[in-house]
Structure formats: C-alpha cells, structure tokens
Amino acid sequence: MFNHMVEHHLDRVFHALSDPTRRTILDRLAEGEATVGQISRPFPISFAAVSKHLGVLERAGLVTREARGRERVCRLNPAALGDARAWLGFHQRFWSERLDALDAMVGQKSGKPD
C-alpha cells in the first residue's frame, strides 16, 4: 500500500529527521526563513557541516535553498513531511487498539479521553 516509489523518499525523510542537529535546524526554520549563515551561527560545529546538513534536508525535500545574491535563503517545505505523516498514520490505524494508551501518554493535556 505504501510500497511504491515513495519508499526511498521515505528513507531520506526519516533519515533526515534522525539527526538532532537537523531537527533543530527545522525548528529554527519553522520560525521563518534564514540564510545558511544565520542557521549555522548558533551551532558549535563548522559552517561547512551545517551546509551539509542542509543538503541532507534539501535532498529529503524538507527544505529548499534559494540563492539570493551571495546568500542562500532556506525555507521549510512541509510537503515532504506528508509522506512521513502518511506512513505513521497508516500504522496508527493498525496499531489503533494500543494507541489509546499512547494518546493518553503523549497528549495528556487534560482528562479528555478522545
């Protein structure tokens, strides 16, 4: 059902998401577009390393880089998360009987059972 060509794309998306630096980059990008320099500044690693992380995110389709002068503006591309969401959603359906307990753990915002 999900085993078409999406597969290898899903590989890249989940792999991109598996690194904490890259997730932090996405967190930052969620607040608005930023240049590579702006993104890399708070990280304790080299500029080039961040540029490579951006490459991974871009190849996964999660981020776009647009040249603007000598800078490169990075933006989120949430469409790529769709595959991951769809995969997770697909499994949610299968695992549903145990997802009751799961939702109680994750979304414990109130006593709301549903």
CB of 53 to a copy of itself, least distance (A): 14
CB of 69 to a copy of itself, least distance (A): 25
Judged by CB, which is closer to DNA: 69, or 107? 69
CB of 52 to DNA, least distance (A): 6
- What are the structure tokens assigned to 86, written together? 């769809």
List the single partner that 36 binds among DNA, a copy of itself, none, CB under 5 to 8 Å by kind.
DNA
Q: Is 89 in the site for DNA (CB under 7 A)?
A: no
List the single partner that 100 binds among a copy of itself, DNA, none, CB under 5 to 8 Å by kind.
none
SS3 content of the chain, % helix, strand, coil (to 5): 60, 10, 25
The answer to whether the beta carbons of residues 25 and 58 sit under 8 Å apart is no
Site string for DNA, 38-77 (x = CB under 7 A): x-x---xxxxxx-xxxxxx--------x-x-xxxx-----
What gap in Å lies between CA 2 and CA 17, rounded to an integer?
19
Three-state SS string over 54-105 comes to: HHHHHHCCCEEEEEECCEEEEEECHHHHHHHHHHHHHHHHHCHHHHHHHHHH
CB of 71 to a copy of itself, least distance (A): 22
